[in-house]
Every structure is written in C-alpha cells, then in structure tokens.
C-alpha cells in the first residue's frame, strides 16, 4: 500500500457516507400512496439498496403492492437525482435478486467527481418544493411545449403519458373516478384503511395524509374528478377559501401514466417516470399534479381505463396537471427510521 492510501480511501468513504445519507434523506420526499413512505434504504460500502417495507402496503386498496412499488420507484428516481448532485454517478440494477421480491434496487455510487450540472440542479431544487395538489387548479393553460416535454420525460423511464383532452373522454374518465370513490366508500375495510392513514388534526405522526394536505371543501370542477375522502365527514382539512381561484376552479390537464406490461419492474419504472415528470413540471411554471388513482384500485374500472384511455397499455397513475397548487403541506419520517449503514 502506498503511504497515505489508507487514509485517503478512508476520507473517500466518509465523504461517500455523508453523501449517501443526504441523498436518502432527499429521496424520502418522494410522493407515496397515502404518504405511507413504504421504503427502507441501507448502505454498505459504495452501494445503497432500496427495499419495500411490505408492512406499509395497503392491504385493501393495493393487494398486489403495485402502488407501493410505484411509490418506491419515485423514491428511487429522487435518489438518483440527489446522488448526482453529490458528484456520484448512480448505477442502478432493478430487482437484483428474483428470490427476494422486496429487494427493489441496488444503486452503486460511482465516484467520478462529476461536476454539478445545471439541469440536475434545477430538478434537485424541486424535490422538497413539489407538493400534491387536491382540488381545482387556477384557470389557465399548461403550455403545450411543457406537456410535450413531460411525455418525453415519461418515455425516458419506459412509461407513456396519455393526455385525455377530448371533453367527452375527460367526462368519462372523471365519472370513473366518481364511481370508484363511491365503491370504496361502500367497503368498511377500505374506509378503515384510509382512516389509519389520515391522522386526526394535531397528530404528531410523520406519515399519512394530514389535514394540512387537503381542502375542507372544494368547489366542483366541470367535469368533477372525485378526491379521496381523507376527512371522512369530520370537517377536517384546510380552509381553501384562501385560494381565491377555487371559486372558479379549473380541471387542468387530465392524463394517465401507463406501461406496456404490468409487473413489478413496470411499477418501479412508473414511479421513476412519475417523479421525473413531476419534478420537471414543478421546475417549469410551478405546474403541480392532483392524483385520482381510485379507479385503478378497482380491477373492472382499471380495465376500462386500459382499453379506452391508454391504447391498451396498463394504466398506473391517473392525474390532473395544473397551476396554483402551493397551499398544502406534507410530512416525512426522520431519515434514521428508514436508513441503516455499514462500511
């Protein structure tokens, strides 16, 4: 060994350890279904592994773990951006061990002293700013050029973004979300599960959808896309009258994110595509997303969406894009709860 080699390797490893921890902390700001944060990260040497925390899967709404893996895919994309920001190139292997289905990705941090590049910086800056919107949007168009860019972002991760622009198609899609929401409300187990992830006002839990994340009441959009009933008739939620445009709310651009196949790798790709396009949308004119994925949790309705709205691809996310979504807040668990490390 050359003199000082040991200590310079030690310095490299401790620099990498600090970078990895910081990147994981950023990754936890990804969106996740009901803010379940169903991920576990660990670092060993220069590798970070991402596992699904299957105890956090929604047993009633998400029996196959599809939405759990989409959430983890979103965290994985965020990790990739954050790792690059720290000057490392992330080398990702998805689902590295077929015998361990909860082992979702192995990410090697290849050190190359990469310079920060402006596009990655811009995307990185949105990680904690991005917020899920609930309710109508400010009237106004999302620029065509941005929609084109978002479609390309989805394709880069192996997914397709279908825009639902025709007014009849939009009304039909909205009606499916309304039907799904009513069906969910008929199922006590579904209501119970939603209740477990919608903490009461004042709760100190760092997970779930808190009352500061949704409006108490919203004016209906035309057509109206049903929102999840996080408040469950208890009058919870923030007073949305502070958002003056909600008097005359706009639907925004309805769209479906879909994949050719429908297996765990596709769900992870969807999550990466989702976060990629959300961060890009946030960085350009503060375009936010409101999600309405209830219809994709009812197999018969999901099949209708597949056949009629995304050319036979498998629908993974249903959302509206628009501006004006800055009033809500969200929470995350501290990084120590989701991250372990060993050199």
Residue span binding ligand FMN (CB under 6 A) among the ranges 29-37, 84-92, 105-113, 246-254: 29-37
Buried b vs exposed e over 231-257: b needs ≥16 C-beta within 10 Å? beeeebbbebeebebbeebbbbbbbbb
- Closer residue to ligand FMN (CB): 134 or 276: 134
**x/- track of binding to ligand FMN for residues 85-124 (CB under 6 A):** ----------------------------------------
Shortest distance in whole angstroms from residue 2 CB to ligand FMN: 48
71 lies in the binding site for ligand FMN (CB under 6 A): yes
- Pairing mode, if any, of strands 314-323 and 287-291? antiparallel
259 lies in the binding site for ligand FMN (CB under 6 A): no
Query: Among 131, 269, 302, 320, which residue sits at the site for ligand FMN (rule: CB under 6 A)?
Result: 131
Number of C-beta neighbours around residue 284 at 10 A: 16
- Pairing mode, if any, of strands 160-164 and 287-291? unpaired
207 CB-contact burial (10 Å; exposed 0-12 / middle 13-18 / buried 19+)? buried
Shortest distance in whole angstroms from residue 228 CB to ligand FMN: 4
Residue span binding ligand FMN (CB under 6 A) among the ranges 108-116, 144-152, 181-189, 292-300: 292-300
- Closer residue to ligand FMN (CB): 19 or 65: 65
330 lies in the binding site for ligand FMN (CB under 6 A): yes
- Closer residue to ligand FMN (CB): 35 or 170: 35
Nearest-Å Rg of the Cα atoms of the chain is 20
Q: Which one, of 4, 37, 95, lies nearest residue 334 by Cα?
A: 37
Distance separating alpha carbons of residues 186 and 225, to the nearest angstrom:
18
Query: Among 51, 85, 228, 269, which residue sits at the site for ligand FMN (rule: CB under 6 A)?
Result: 228
In DSSP notation, 156-183 reads: HTT-EEEEE-SHHHHHHHHHHHHHHHHH
34 lies in the binding site for ligand FMN (CB under 6 A): yes
Which residue is it, tokens 């949704």?
Answer: 214
- Closer residue to ligand FMN (CB): 67 or 313: 67
What's the token pair of residue 245? 């445009």
Torsion of CA 20, 21, 26, 28, to 10 degrees: 110
Shortest distance in whole angstroms from residue 160 CB to ligand FMN: 17
Q: Find how far residue 321's CA is from the centre of its chain.
A: 14
Q: Where do the DSSP E strands lie in the chain?
A: 39-44, 47-52, 88-94, 103-111, 160-164, 253-259, 287-291, 314-323, 339-342
- Closer residue to ligand FMN (CB): 91 or 229: 229
Query: Among 32, 86, 102, 259, which residue sits at the site for ligand FMN (rule: CB under 6 A)?
Result: 32
Query: Among 292, 302, 306, 314, which residue sits at the site for ligand FMN (rule: CB under 6 A)?
Result: 292
- Closer residue to ligand FMN (CB): 16 or 23: 23
Binding residues vs ligand FMN (CB under 6 A): 31-35, 67, 70-71, 74, 131-132, 134, 209, 213, 227-228, 291-294, 330
């Amino acid at each position: 060994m050359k003199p000082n080699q040991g200590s310079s390797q030690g310095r490299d490893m401790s620099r990498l350890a600090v970078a990895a921890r910081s990147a994981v902390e950023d990754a936890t700001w990804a969106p996740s279904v009901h803010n379940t944060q169903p991920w576990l990260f660990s670092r060993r040497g220069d590798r970070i592994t991402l596992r699904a925390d299957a105890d956090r899967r929604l047993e009633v709404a998400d029996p196959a773990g599809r939405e759990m893996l989409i959430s983890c895919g979103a965290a994985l994309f965020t990790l990739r951006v954050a790792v690059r920001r720290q000057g490392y190139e992330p080398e990702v292997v998805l689902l590295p061990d077929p015998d361990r289905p909860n082992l979702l990705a192995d990410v090697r941090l290849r050190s190359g002293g990469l310079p920060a590049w402006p596009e990655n910086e811009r995307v990185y800056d949105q990680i904690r700013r991005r917020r899920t919107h609930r309710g109508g949007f400010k009237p106004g168009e999302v620029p065509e050029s941005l929609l084109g860019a978002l479609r390309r972002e989805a394709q880069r991760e192996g997914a397709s973004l279908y825009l639902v622009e025709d007014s009849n198609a939009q009304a039909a899609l909205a009606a499916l979300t309304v039907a799904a929401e009513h069906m969910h409300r008929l199922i006590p187990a579904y209501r119970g599960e939603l209740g477990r992830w919608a903490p009461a006002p004042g709760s100190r839990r760092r997970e779930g959808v808190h009352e500061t994340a949704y409006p108490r009441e919203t004016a209906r959009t035309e057509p109206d896309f049903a929102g999840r009933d996080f408040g469950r008739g208890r009058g919870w939620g923030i007073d949305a009258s502070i958002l003056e445009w909600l008097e005359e709310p706009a639907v925004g651009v309805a769209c479906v994110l879909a994949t050719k196949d429908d297996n765990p790798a596709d769900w992870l790709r969807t999550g990466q595509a989702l976060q990629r396009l959300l961060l890009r949308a946030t960085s350009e004119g503060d375009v936010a997303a409101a999600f309405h994925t209830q219809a994709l949790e009812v197999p018969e309705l999901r099949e209708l969406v597949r056949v009629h709205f995304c050319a036979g691809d498998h629908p993974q996310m249903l959302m509206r894009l628009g501006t004006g979504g800055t009033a809500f807040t969200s929470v995350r668990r501290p990084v120590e709860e989701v991250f372990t490390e060993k050199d």
